[in-house]
Structures are given as structure tokens and as C-alpha cells.
Amino acid sequence: MIIDKDSTGTILMAWLICGILILVVRHFVRNSWISVSIIVALVVFMCFITWFFRVPERETPPGDGLVTSACDGKVVIVEKVYEPEYMKEECIQISVYMDFFDVHANFWPASGEVSYYKYHPGKYLLAFLPKSSELNEHSSTGITVPSGDRLFFKQIAGTFARRIVCYSEPGLETVRGEQCGVIKFGSRIDIFLPLDAEVKVKVGDKVRAVESVIAVLSGKRDGGQDLPQ
């Protein structure tokens, strides 16, 4: 199992705190049943924290114009919206919510070049709420693909996610399926696509980072499709 390189400090801190608590329990708790129960719970938590920051090895599906999910989770939004920050036009928004047990490493949804990046400080509302996209702490990345199409995605912090790691910088070449960062604990990713993209998912679908195709870009600048307003 590969562990996210930007999360080793968090893991070590959790192990240190749990280790100290185990020593305290062993020294001060005289009831053996209670002592063993607490120690087992702490060890399970240590193992969970390590497992939580895993980076899975997955195969990217072949094909041109594919947009794959940037994270594991559940699709909570598929709709037509106006995106004012980067696209500055009507787009298709696809949002994926990561719960506490999903892989929280994030991956490039398409191959191309980073043409925009901005970090936004903010609040820590529940990530599945619609307003979290604008009000919560988030990182914004715009990618221009070889066909000339653009896509835009946001890594959005949740109530318990207090750090977003994003590898984006303008001019960086992206490779679909390679890691682009990590969001620590429950969070969400919004992806904005051209209106003529062919959407492959619907609200309620479970998707897997790298493997699940969420849309196919047409390479055109016109057209569109009917989606919920």
C-alpha cells in the first residue's frame, strides 16, 4: 500500500498522540478490561489513519477526450450552471462527495496543461451543501486539453478537512490518472465541463478516481445537451 507523501506528518502525529495515550492508559487505568479495550481502540484508530491516506494504484481507461473522476465518492450534482471564475460561461457541473471512508487522494481528470490556478481561503461547511462550493476553503484549477477544450475543477474542504494539497501551477503538464493532490478528511470535488461534453454519470452514482469515466469531451465549441437547471 502506497501512503500519500503529503500526509506522513499527519499520520506520525496521530501515532505519537495514540502512543502517549496508550502509555497513560497502561499506567493509570487499573481495570484490565477497560485498559485493553481502550488500547485496542487506539491501535485500530492508528491503523485506520494510515489506511485513510492510501494512494491506490489504478489503470486509466484508454481513449481520447475522456474525463475521469478526480476522486472516489458519490455523484451529488449534475446540472447546468454559470461558472464565473475561469470558464466564464454556462457549463456542466459534476460534483463528487467523498465520505470519511473514501480514498482522499485526488487525480488529474484529463491530460493537458494547467492554464489557471488559485487558492481560496474560506469556511468549513458540510461539503455536500451547495454553498460549500463558493464559501468553503478550496483550490481552483483550469486545464486546457490538446483539443482546445477547457475544464475546471475545485478541491473543496469540508467540515473536518482542514488542509488541501494541490500540485497545480500554471504551465504544468497534466496526465490523466496521475495524482494531483489530496484533501484531508471529508470533502468534495466539483468539475465544470463544456456544454457539449457527453455526461456519463448521474446523481447517486458511485465513482472511482482514475477508473470511472464521468464525461467525454467532443472537441467542439458549440452544441449542448439538456440537463436540469
For residue 173, the SS3 value is strand
CB atoms within 10 A of CB 31: 9
CB 163 within 8 A of CB 137: no
* C-alpha separations of 152 from 6, 14, 22, 158, 211 in Å: 23, 34, 46, 19, 19
Distance CA 122, CA 144 (A): 26
| Active-site choice (37, 187, 212, 218) | 187
SS3 content of the chain, % helix, strand, coil (to 5): 20, 35, 45
Collect all residues with Cβ–Cβ distance below 8 Å to 181 and sequence separation of at least 6: 6, 105, 106, 139, 155, 164, 165, 166, 167, 168
Alpha carbon 50 to chain centroid, angstroms: 18
Which candidate, 203, 159, 209, places its Cα nearest to that of 182?
209
Strands 105-107 and 89-98: unpaired
Say whether 115 is catalytic: no
Alpha helices by DSSP H, listed for 32-144, are 32-52, 132-135
List residues with catalytic annotation. Answer: 187
